[in-house]
């Protein structure tokens, strides 16, 4: 599987639940989180500065999911990445 143009394929990384007053918030309750974390699987030929294996933060409303070989990945645009760790 290879991304093309300005697209990036990522594997979402689960973030530990946030605690409020000792209670853990589920992902759906944690609405103040704007960005999600993911590992880069493949980058398109027009993407500069990001490579496979990088860990990035991206807009949670960006892209869409895709199933490939029994695994679920996300496809986002290069412009949706806000931080590279």
The pTM (predicted TM-score) of the whole model is: 0.80
* CA 3/CA 68 separation, integer angstroms: 13
pLDDT reported for residue 63: 92
Question: Domains of the chain by range and CATH?
Answer: 7-84 (2.30.33.40)
Provide the terminal-to-terminal Cα distance of the chain, rounded to the nearest Å.
24
pLDDT tens sequence across 25-35 = 565 545 567 88
pLDDT tens sequence across 33-81 = 788 999 999 999 999 999 999 999 999 899 999 999 999 999 999 999 9
pLDDT reported for residue 46: 96
């Amino acid at each position: 599987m290879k991304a093309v143009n300005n697209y990036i394929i990522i594997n979402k990384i689960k973030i530990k639940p946030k605690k409020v007053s000792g209670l853990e918030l589920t992902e759906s309750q944690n609405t103040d989180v704007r960005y999600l974390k993911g590992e880069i699987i493949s980058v398109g030929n027009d993407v500069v500065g990001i490579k496979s294996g990088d860990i990035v933060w991206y807009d949670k409303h960006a892209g869409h999911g895709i199933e490939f070989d029994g695994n679920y990945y996300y496809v986002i645009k290069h412009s949706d990445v806000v931080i590279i760790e």
